[in-house]
């Protein structure tokens, strides 16, 4: 237990700690108790894959610390990140009559965290929210920063809130039960931090990706801490995405389009983002923003990670529709994140339909 | 047009103006344009009573100022302040593809404002929100302060957000088309400000309630400005109701119970709050907090206003259930707002089930 790392996210009265430590799941009850005057009731939200593995440990830890624990288990999967499931979480909060000062705890990956966070933000106009992320993607990205949301039938993450957790509790040892494909998808988000703002971290990942996939504890600790630091720095500078926070969306405009066109079934979010990032790299070079063509180097690390690198085929119009390029949308251009080099990214607001048509045509 | 009053609500980066002026509805387009770099698209949400009267004026004003206007009209009534109607507002936002920087405008009473505000808070995690309140209650209370919410099947305002508008645009001349019963219910909220923090305002209302109900423009201007000032002062001191903002809930715990037990059909919100305030006054005297029994004086002004003053009969257990007094709720007591005298209120956290039983028994 000497491997403890705590990163403090400073957001004024919305500040909180990210607590990173192997085998720490069983200590969470006491940690949450310290945030409150007295333990009372709490609701743990998890999914039917994570709950059988870790809900018992978390529940026992909380009960030992004096908490009365209620639970709600959702089906696993992005397709349940919708208004219907969110309403079930709200019903569950109503049923256990949580007060404004009693916490809701998200135990799971990005879907559980996003949905629980949005429920926390709007139940009684906001109750304390604790993130216990159990996937690599959630540990290095979605659990930090306060973006919560659910999907609308016509768009991903369209209904949500900026709502910061009170605590992010990361136990990397839970990654040992994560499907390798999920692990790889999480690595895609790590690579993203290297690409947008840290070339040294990108090089570190190039050298250590196999150790990372084998869950070498030193490498895992290092990459989780580094990426939480990157995420937190960006969020502290721009909590509600007025500017630079948008850099975190590298590969996301294309990635979301890919997820949408394949109905959220063929690719995991991280996989779609990897594909989208390859497209952003090609677009960057095509428009002369990156002198060097960065695509081959990025493709190599994705291949080494075991991520997909072949862009799926759709017509140009399918792409434009899926990305929200429509005629009515004049004056509110879509922002793309582009690369100058590895570790140096920027927001481009001047991308035209023609640019996108040319890019898509290059894959056909 | 020389009767302009502007009150600035100072909440740091969430600051905004309350603009109060007779016959100002036709000037709103230009005012909203000044808040944005360029006019683009907006969505007006209204209801089927207000829309035929004022939507045309507002739409024309916006279009003249260069806005592309979309509209969504809901059925009138508290019973539509639910998740199903809120989802329709979200669908409408999705359908017109409003971007993150394009405003949604609430034209109506408290229900329209609450629902539109909550939709504004969570569509794309927050878009600009403008309040154009058309009832007295909304003009003096609900449009200011950023409390937005919808009802859950098992509780009023249980799903919502603290989300401040960018502008509150009050045209008191629209009150001339308001049903007298709605006007009276709004006066109940004015009386509340007198009761909780301003004995002089209470006396002013005692003297001028008939002129107010006759919509004397001097009296109307005076009471709207005074109550917006009170509301704003309380909100500036305690935006998210950690403390003193709770004083605004005078009469609301009992009032919500009355609304719930009568299925939101028998009483308007302001009427239920008036009844709840009479109960709070009796409880204050019963427990020795107010030396004088304030109930008769409060009852007189309600009677002069034409508000109900007879507490409906329900069993003690029905009351306790409706107020959320249940055995599991240990450690999270319900807060009641009580009175020491007219203009001097406080938060009581030590009210027991027995106190409530005794109070209810006094009506049986």
Domains of chain B: 5-177 (3.40.50.1970), 180-361 (1.20.1090.10)
The ipTM value here is 0.90
Question: Is residue A332 scored above 90 in pLDDT?
Answer: no
Looking at beta carbons, which residues of chain B come within 8 Å of A326?
97
Does the annotation count A81 as an active-site position? Answer: no
How far away is chain B from the Cα of A18, in angstroms, using its nearest Cα? 23
Percentage, residues of chain A above pLDDT 90: 87
For residue A160, the chain B residues in CB contact (below 8 A) are: 122, 124-125
Query: What does the alpha-carbon distance between residue B228 and residue B285 come to, in Å, rounded to a whole number?
Result: 29
Which chain B residue's Cα is nearest to A332? B99
DSSP character at residue B150: E
**Looking at the partner chain, which of B155, B160, B161 has a beta carbon nearest the beta carbon of A94?**
B155
Is there a contact between B94 and A155 if contact means CB atoms under 8 Å apart?
yes
User: Could you give the dihedral angle defined by the CA atoms of residues B71, B76, B81 and B85, in that order, rounded to the nearest 10 degrees?
Assistant: -50
Residues of B in contact with A154 (CB under 8 A): 94-95
User: Which of A14, A159, A240 is best to mutate for the B interface (most B CBs within 10 A)?
Assistant: A159
Residues A77-93: pLDDT tens digits? 888 999 999 999 999 99
CB A147 within 8 A of CB A162: yes
Q: Which of A192, A197, A269, A282 is catalytic?
A: A269
Q: Which residue of A has its CA nearest to B239?
A: A125
Residue A263 clears pLDDT 90, i.e. is over it: no
Instruction: Answer yes or no: A252 catalytic.
Output: yes
Q: Is the pLDDT of residue B329 over 80?
A: no
A200-209, B2-11, B78-87, B252-261: which has the minimum mean pLDDT? Answer: B2-11
> Which tokens go with B114?
């609450």
pLDDT value at residue B144: 92
Which chain A residues have a beta carbon less than 8 Å from that of B150? Answer: none
How far is it, in rounded angstroms, from Cα B3 to Cα B291? 41
Q: Note if A192 is an active site residue.
A: no
Pairwise CB contact (< 8 Å): A158 & B94 = yes
Interface test with B, best of A331, A333, A334, A335 (most B CBs within 10 A): A331
User: At residue A329, does pLDDT exceed 70?
Assistant: no
- Alpha carbon of residue A134 to chain centroid: 12
By C-alpha distance, the chain A residue nearest B324 is A97
| Cβ proximity of B205 and B190 under 8 Å | yes
The answer to whether residues B99 and B284 touch, using CB atoms and an 8 Å cutoff, is: no
Query: What is the spatial distance between Cα A83 and Cα B208, in angstroms, rounded to a whole number?
Result: 48
State the Cα–Cα distance between residues B37 and B54, nearest whole angstrom: 26
pLDDT at residue B275 is higher than 50? yes
**pLDDT bracket for residue B3 (50, 70, 90):** confident
Q: Are strands A16-20 and A167-170 parallel, antiparallel or unpaired?
A: parallel
User: If you average pLDDT over every residue of chain B, what do you get?
Assistant: 93
Would you call B159 exposed, middle or buried from its count of C-beta atoms within 10 A (0-12, 13-18, 19+)? Answer: buried
| pLDDT attached to residue A333 | 72
Query: 10 Å Cβ neighbour count for A310?
Result: 9
Tokens matching residue B34: 């000044």
pLDDT at B325: 65
Smallest Cβ–Cβ distance between A159 and the set B123, B149, B152 belongs to B123
A229 is catalytic: no
Q: Which member of B118, B148, B332 has the closest CB to residue A101?
A: B332
Q: Which residue has the tokens 């400073």?
A: A10
DSSP letters along B162-184, please? Answer: E---SEEEE-GGGGGGS-HHHHH
**E strand segments, chain A:** 5-9, 16-20, 41-47, 68-74, 104-108, 129-133, 147-152, 155-162, 167-170, 336-341, 344-348
What average pLDDT does the segment A154-182 reach?
A: 95
Task: State the smallest CA–CA distance between residue A124 and chain B in angstroms.
Answer: 5
Quote the CA–CA distance of B20 and B339 in Å, as a whole number. 30
Tokens of A363: 């894959």
The minimum CA-CA distance between B244 and chain A, rounded to whole Å, is: 16
- Catalytic residue (choose from A19, A184, A245, A282): A245
- Whole-angstrom distance, CA of residue B37 vs CA of residue B28: 16
Q: How far from the centroid of its chain's Cα atoms is residue A9's Cα?
A: 17
Q: What is the pLDDT of residue A1?
A: 41
A125-134 burial code (b ≥16 CB/10 A, e <16): bbbbbbbbbb
Q: Which of A98, A118, A125 to mutate to test the interface with B (most CBs of B within 10 A)?
A: A125
Helix/strand/coil for A152? strand
CB contact under 8 A, A158 and B329: no
* Euclidean distance between CA atoms B208 and B304, whole angstroms: 10
Q: How far is CA B213 from CA B179, B223, B273, B288, in A?
A: 11, 12, 19, 35
Q: Answer yes or no: do A123 and B159 touch at CB < 8 A.
A: yes
When pLDDT is averaged across residues B162-180 and rounded to a whole number, the result is 97
Measured in angstroms, the CA of A104 and the nearest CA of chain B are apart by 15
Q: Which residues of A touch B260 (CB under 8 A)?
A: none
HSE-CB at A131 with a 13 A cutoff on CA atoms is 36
d(CA A205, CA A191): 7
What is the model's pLDDT at position B327?
A: 44
What stretch of H or E contains A213? helix A199-213
pLDDT over 80 (residue B324): no
Q: What does the pLDDT read at residue B9?
A: 93
Give pLDDT, residue B328: 43
Q: Reply yes or no on whether A269 is catalytic.
A: yes
Give the closest-approach CA distance of B297 to chain A in angstroms.
34
Chain A residues whose CB is inside 8 A of the B99 CB are: 329, 332
CA distance B335 to chain A (A): 12
Please say if A256 is a catalytic residue.
yes
Does A264 or A266 have the greater pLDDT score? Answer: A266
Report how far residue B260's alpha carbon sits from residue B361's, in angstroms, rounded to the nearest whole number. 20
Residue recorded with tokens 């007006």: B44
Pairing of strands A155-162, A147-152: antiparallel
Confidence category of residue B330, pLDDT binned at 50, 70, 90: very low
**Chain B residue closest to A102 (CA)?**
B332
Contact flag B161-A124 (C-beta cutoff 8 Å): no
Q: Which residue has the higher pLDDT, A17 or A4?
A: A17
B326 confidence band (pLDDT: 50, 70, 90): low
The torsion angles phi and psi of A352, rounded to 5 degrees, stand at -100, 165
Taking a C-beta distance cutoff of 8 angstroms, is the pair B151, B157 a contact? yes
Cα(B45)–Cα(B117) distance, rounded to whole angstroms? Answer: 10
Q: How far apart are CA B281 and CA B342, in angstroms?
A: 10
Chain A neighbors of B91, CB-CB under 8 A: 152
Chain B residues in contact with A121 (beta carbon < 8 A): 161
* Selection from B90, B113, B268 nearest residue B184 by Cα: B268
B158–A101 CB contact, under 8 Å: no
Give the tokens for residue A54.
């870790």
Q: Decide if B97 and A326 are in contact by the 8 Å CB cutoff.
A: yes
CB A82 within 8 A of CB A150: yes
Tokens 């927050």 — which residue? B126
Task: Choose the weakest-confidence range: A168-172, A332-336, B241-245.
Answer: A332-336
Cα–Cα distances in angstroms (integers) from residue B316 to residues B119, B281, B288, in the given order? 37, 18, 22
Q: Give the single-character DSSP code of A287.
A: T
In percent, how much of chain B has pLDDT > 70? 97
Q: Residue B157: left if φ>0, alpha if ψ -120 to 50, beta else—which one?
A: left
Query: What was the pLDDT predicted at B351?
Result: 92
Residue A47 β-bridge partners: A74
Confidence (pLDDT) at A326: 52
Is the pLDDT at A3 greater than 90? The verdict is: no
Interface touch A162/B331, C-beta < 8 Å:
no
pLDDT number for residue A325: 64
Which element (helix H / strand E) includes B41? Answer: strand B41-47
Interatomic CA distance for residues A316 and A357, integer angstroms: 6
CB contact under 8 A, B40 and A331: yes
Q: Minimal Cα distance from B68: which residue of A? A: A328
pLDDT computed for residue A155 by the predictor: 85
Residues of B with a known catalytic role: 125, 147, 189, 231, 241, 245, 249, 252, 256, 269
Average confidence score pLDDT of chain A = 93
Mean pLDDT of A322-339: 70
Of B45, B95, B41, nearest to B68 by C-alpha is: B41
Residue in A83, A97, A102 nearest the CB of B87: A83
Contact residues on chain A for B147, CB-CB shorter than 8 A: 125
Asked if residue B152 lies in contact with residue A90, where contact means CB atoms within 8 angstroms, the answer is yes
| The predicted structure's pLDDT at residue A243 | 87
Q: Which of A39, A67, A122 to mutate to test the interface with B (most CBs of B within 10 A)?
A: A122
**Which tokens is B221 given?**
């201007």
For residue A39, give Cα distances in angstroms to A30, A34, A79: 9, 9, 34
CB contact under 8 A, A324 and B94: no
- Residue B1 pLDDT exceeds 70: no
Q: Shortest CB distance from B324 goes to which of A97, A159, A162?
A: A97
At A221, list the tokens. 């600790």
Contacts of B103 in chain A (CB under 8 A): none
CB-CB neighbours of B352 under 10 Å: 10
Cross-strand pairs, B19: B6, B169
Contacts of B324 in chain A (CB under 8 A): 97
Provide the pLDDT for residue A302.
98
Q: Pick the range with the lowest mean pLDDT from A118-127, B123-132, B352-361.
A: B352-361
Q: Do B97 and A40 count as a contact with CB atoms less than 8 A apart?
A: no
């Amino acid at each position: 237990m000497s491997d403890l790392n705590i990163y403090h996210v400073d957001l004024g009265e919305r500040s909180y700690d990210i607590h990173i430590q192997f085998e720490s799941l069983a200590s969470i009850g006491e940690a949450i108790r310290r945030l409150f005057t007295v333990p009372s009731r709490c609701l743990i939200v998890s999914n039917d894959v994570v709950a059988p593995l870790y809900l018992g440990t978390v529940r026992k830890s909380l009960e030992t610390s004096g908490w009365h624990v209620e639970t709600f288990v959702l089906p696993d999967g992005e397709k349940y990140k919708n208004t219907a499931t969110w309403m079930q979480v709200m019903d569950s909060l109503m049923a256990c009559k949580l007060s404004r000062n009693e916490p809701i705890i998200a135990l799971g990956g990005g879907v559980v965290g996003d949905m629980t966070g949005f429920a926390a933000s709007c139940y009684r106009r906001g109750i304390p929210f604790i993130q216990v992320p159990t996937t690599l993607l959630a540990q290095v990205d979605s659990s930090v920063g306060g973006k919560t949301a659910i999907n609308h039938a016509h768009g991903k993450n369209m209904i949500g809130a900026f709502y910061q957790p009170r605590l992010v509790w990361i136990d990397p040892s839970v990654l040992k039960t994560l499907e390798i494909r999920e692990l790889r998808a999480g690595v895609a988000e790590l690579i993203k931090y290297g690409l947008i703002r840290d070339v040294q971290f990108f090089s570190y990942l190039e050298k250590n990706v196999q150790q990372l996939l084998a869950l070498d504890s030193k490498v895992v600790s290092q990459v989780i801490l580094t990426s939480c630091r990157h995420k937190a720095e960006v969020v502290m500078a721009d909590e509600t995405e007025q500017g630079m926070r948008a850099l975190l969306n590298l590969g996301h405009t294309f990635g979301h389009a890919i997820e949408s066109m394949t109905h959220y079934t063929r690719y995991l979010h991280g996989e779609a983002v990897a594909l989208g990032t390859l497209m952003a790299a090609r677009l960057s070079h095509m428009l002369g923003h990156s002198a060097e063509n960065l695509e081959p180097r990025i493709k190599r690390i994705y291949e080494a990670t075991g991520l997909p690198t072949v862009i799926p085929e759709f017509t140009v119009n399918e792409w434009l529709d899926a990305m929200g390029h429509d005629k009515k949308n004049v004056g509110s251009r879509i922002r793309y994140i582009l690369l100058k080099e590895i570790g140096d990214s920027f927001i481009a607001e001047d991308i035209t339909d023609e640019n996108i048509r040319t890019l898509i045509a290059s894959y056909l």
